[in-house]
Amino acid sequence: MKKKKIAGDIITYIVLVLISIVWLFPFAGLALQSFRSYDPKVEYGGMVDYLIPKHFSLDNYRFLFSGQTNFLRWYLNTIIIAVFVALFQTIIVLCVSYALSRMRFAGRTLLMRFWLVLGMFPGFLTMICLYFLLKQFGLTQAGAVPGLILVGVASSGMGYYVCKGYFDTLPKALDEAARIDGATRARVFFTITIPMSKPIIIYTALVAFMAPWCDYVFASYVAFGHDESFNVAVAMTRWVWTNDYQGYFTRFCAGGILVAIPVTVLFMCLQKYYVEGVTGGAVKG
First-last CA distance in the chain: 41
**In the bound complex, what is the minimum distance in angstroms from residue 53's beta carbon to other proteins?**
13
**Cβ neighbours of 35 (radius 10 Å):** 20
Q: How far is the CB of 37 from other proteins (least distance, A)?
A: 18
Query: Among residues 73 and 102, whose Cβ is nearest to other proteins?
Result: 102
Comparing CB distances to other proteins, the nearer of 177 and 217 is 217
Task: Say if CB 85 and CB 268 are below 8 A apart.
Answer: no
In the complex, least distance from residue 5 CB atom to other proteins, rounded to whole angstroms: 7
Question: In whole angstroms, how close is the CB of 9 to other proteins at the nearest point?
Answer: 6
> Given the complex with other proteins, which of 86 and 253 has the nearer CB atom?
253
Integer angstrom CA distances of residue 75 from 72, 82, 225: 5, 11, 17
Which of helix, strand or coil describes residue 52?
coil
* C-alpha 282, offset from chain centre: 19
What is the chain's Cα-based Rg? 24
CB of 278 to other proteins, least distance (A): 6
Q: DSSP label at 227?
A: G
When the beta carbons of 67 and 262 are compared against other proteins, the nearer one is 262
Neighbours of 282 (CB within 10 A): 9
d(CA 267, CA 137): 34
Shortest distance, position 66 Cβ to other proteins, whole Å: 21
User: Which CB sits closer to other proteins, 86 or 130?
Assistant: 130
Query: Quick one: 180 or 282, whose CB is closer to other proteins?
Result: 282
CB of residue 3 to other proteins, shortest distance in Å: 14
What separation in angstroms does the CA of 88 have from each of 81, 175, 259? 11, 25, 23
How buried is residue 81: exposed, middle or buried, by Cβ count under 10 Å (0-12/13-18/19+)? buried
CB nearer other proteins, residue 68 or residue 243: 243
Cα–Cα dist 111/106, whole Å? 9
Q: How far is the CB of 223 from other proteins (least distance, A)?
A: 13
Give the list of residues 6+ apart from residue 243 with CB closer than 8 angstroms, or none: none
Alpha-carbon span 75 to 146, nearest angstrom: 15
Smaller CB separation from other proteins, 145 or 153 = 153
